[in-house]
Amino acid sequence: MISAKRCIIDFDRKFDRFTSGGTTSLRLVDKLALLNEALDIYVEHRTNLAEFNDKVKNDLRALEVKEYSLKAIKNTDKYTLFERPKQLYKILRRSPLVYKEGCGEKIVTAVSAQADDLELMRKNYWKSSYEWEILLVDEGKEGIYAWHDGQFKIKKFIIDYYEKPPEIHAPSLSKDGEYVDWNGKTQTKDKDLVLTDYSYRIIIDVAVLLAKAYVGDYPDYKLELDKILNIEKINY
């Protein structure tokens, strides 16, 4: 874990190299908004690679939640609706445990369906089946739909997932010990970065790049961002 104060100090130190005016043109809340945007960019990039690279997966370990049991919030004769975890960012593994009278229980494979294909899939060989160990699943704003179509009952729906990284905040550095952030919320307590030192260095570099683009024209932004995010060769 990296303190929010250190994030600001290192951001200021690196950004000062690129502008004669230093960081005085940026408010504290602006710096933190840039740091959190950089954090989002980094996590989005890394979660897309984690499946193929153990080092990247280790960098994101602090965001991983394992063996989480989804809460069923609605049952019908066609589907069970499960509540999505509030901080869910990306599902890594789905393990539905189903039960059929006279056959016992077992874990089946959750097969994702797009809204446009759902009805067709429910009528063909992709439909939910205890024998073929398939559970058709899709997501809506209400939660995660598991379409059992009366073929069996769902006892549990276990997932592993990455949660959305907590925002970085440093109200202790403000004059009044608090500020109103970019979401209109009043922040009164520091919130540190939960990722590793290696992740931290990249996030600071991305935040500085965002700041350079924020204070003036930066035509090489996309090229430089790609260079920072791919600072090491990723071996698949």
Residues of the chain short of pLDDT 70, as ranges, are 19-24, 114-126, 217, 232-236
From 136, 161, 165, 140, select the one nearest 151 (Cα to Cα).
136
Chain segment 147-174, per-residue pLDDT in tens: 998 999 999 999 999 999 999 999 999 9
Structure tokens of 133?
Answer: 């160990």
Single pTM value for the model = 0.86
3-state SS, residue 70: coil
From 130, 89, 79, 135, select the one nearest 112 (Cα to Cα).
135
**Distances from the Cα of 184 to the Cαs of 27, 46, 171, 214, 228, in angstroms?**
15, 28, 14, 21, 31
User: How many whole angstroms separate alpha carbon 203 and alpha carbon 41?
Assistant: 8
User: How many whole angstroms separate alpha carbon 194 and alpha carbon 64?
Assistant: 11
Q: DSSP letters along 175-216, please? A: TTS-EE-TTSPEE-S-B-B-S-HHHHHHHHHHHHHHHHHHHS
| Domains in the chain with CATH codes | 4-60+166-229 (no CATH), 66-163 (2.40.30)
> How much is the pLDDT for 236?
39
3-state SS, residue 107: strand
